[in-house]
């Protein structure tokens, strides 16, 4: 894969209080570390967005956004092609938005507003109609559910080899007890470490990892059965249940939405 580097154009101020950038970023592209004088909402249409924000890796599937406040250094590396959108928001409009970088869940209303802006390829928000839309968008983002990271990481000496192994092979079905033996620890110790370091259980982290891989495989048009088996499930029904719990929709509904977006792009 050809490796590329990309540095966004850095300017002193936005042309309008809300300005939207759109980029097709090819696979294997490193977006170099940078920051802005305004806040940014980072989005993708489908797949998974991976960013490093002030040294912390953040993984965001479609349906979530990554928020970076002004002057927060961030960089990215995308393994696959992505359709990327950045909503840039001037400082005087972000008082109610988080002071720290985080992930924000996109409600149906927020997603609908974003889809409308993207479909019309709005860049400078400079008319009354679009200003009203972005006012609602910012207010809804301010009150939306937040999380530090969808798939957090850690440098903990016991957990990091487990996470690395699962990332390399998400079909690995070893239990936490089996992993405890592998890293010369106990299941109880690992349970505490997962809660302390990642703020979630081992099973929750592993399911989120499987969702991240599933989104990529569904984009590649793998069948539901093939996706399930490649992630270590013996039955597709178990995979479908997990996917729905994590994303709020079945894999088939996600695939249908993905197809609709692709068809819109081709028009």
209: domain CATH number is 1.10.10.60
Residues 138 and 178 in one domain: no
Residues 14 and 142 in one domain: yes
The domain boundary residue, chosen from 115, 147, 179: 147
Task: Name the residue range of residue 195's domain.
Answer: 159-266
Model pLDDT, residue 1: 58
Residues 41 and 98 in one domain: yes
In a domain, 204, yes or no: yes
In the DSSP assignment, the letter for residue 124 is B
What is the token pair recorded at 142? 């301010």
What is the token pair recorded at 163? 């996470």
The domain boundary residue, chosen from 93, 116, 147: 147
In a domain, 89, yes or no: yes
* CA distances for 118 relative to 43, 57, 168, 172, 173, angstroms: 11, 26, 34, 38, 40
Model pLDDT, residue 4: 83
Model pLDDT, residue 79: 79
In a domain, 153, yes or no: no
What is the token pair recorded at 43? 């989005």
Q: Where are the beta strands (DSSP E) in 110-244?
A: 146-147
d(CA 61, CA 47): 6
In a domain, 169, yes or no: yes
The domain boundary residue, chosen from 126, 147, 168: 147
d(CA 47, CA 139): 26
Model pLDDT, residue 149: 81
Residues 25 and 122 in one domain: yes
- Mark the ranges of the chain whose per-residue pLDDT is less than 50: none
Model pLDDT, residue 60: 85
Total structural domains within the chain: 2
* Pair 146, 104: CB distance under 8 Å: yes
* Short-list 12, 161, 160, 40, CA closest to 104: 40
* CA distances for 120 relative to 14, 116, 130, 147, 176, angstroms: 20, 6, 11, 30, 48
In a domain, 154, yes or no: no
d(CA 252, CA 239): 12
In a domain, 128, yes or no: yes
The CA angle 16-107-217, to the nearest 5 degrees, is 100
pTM of the model: 0.75
Residue with tokens 């609709």: 260
Residues 168 and 141 in one domain: no
Residues 139 and 174 in one domain: no
Q: Where are the beta strands (DSSP E) in the chain?
A: 4-6, 18-25, 29-34, 39-44, 48-53, 56-61, 64-68, 74-78, 82-89, 102-105, 146-147
d(CA 96, CA 139): 8
pLDDT digits (tens, 9 = 90+) for 34-82: 999 999 999 987 778 889 998 888 988 878 899 999 999 999 988 788 8
In a domain, 60, yes or no: yes
Residues 41 and 82 in one domain: yes
Model pLDDT, residue 179: 97
Neighbouring residues of 145: CB distance < 8 A, sequence distance ≥ 6: 104, 105
């Amino acid at each position: 894969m050809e490796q590329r580097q990309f540095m966004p154009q850095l300017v002193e101020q936005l042309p309008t209080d809300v300005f939207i950038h759109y980029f097709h970023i090819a696979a294997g592209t490193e977006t170099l570390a940078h920051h802005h004088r305004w806040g940014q909402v980072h989005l993708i249409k489908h797949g998974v967005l991976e960013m490093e924000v002030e040294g912390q890796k953040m993984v965001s599937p479609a349906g979530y956004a990554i928020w970076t406040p002004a002057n927060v250094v961030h960089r990215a590396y995308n393994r696959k092609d992505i359709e990327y959108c950045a909503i840039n928001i001037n400082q005087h409009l972000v008082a109610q938005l988080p002071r720290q970088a985080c992930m924000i869940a996109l409600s149906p209303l927020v997603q609908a507003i974003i889809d409308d802006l993207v479909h019309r390829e709005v860049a400078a928000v400079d008319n009354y109609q679009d200003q009203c839309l972005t006012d609602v968008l910012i207010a809804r983002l301010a009150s939306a559910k937040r999380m530090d990271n969808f798939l957090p990481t850690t440098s903990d000496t016991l957990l990091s080899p487990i996470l690395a192994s699962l990332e390399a092979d998400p079909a690995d079905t070893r239990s936490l007890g089996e992993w405890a033996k592998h890293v010369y620890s106990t299941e109880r110790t690992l349970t505490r470490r997962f809660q302390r370091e990642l703020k979630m259980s081992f099973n929750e982290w592993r399911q989120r990892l499987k969702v991240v891989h599933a989104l990529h495989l569904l984009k590649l048009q793998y069948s539901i059965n093939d996706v399930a088996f490649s992630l270590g499930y013996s039955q597709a029904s178990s995979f479908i249940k997990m996917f729905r719990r994590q994303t709020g929709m079945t894999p088939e509904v996600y695939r249908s939405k993905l197809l609709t977006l692709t068809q819109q792009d081709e028009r």
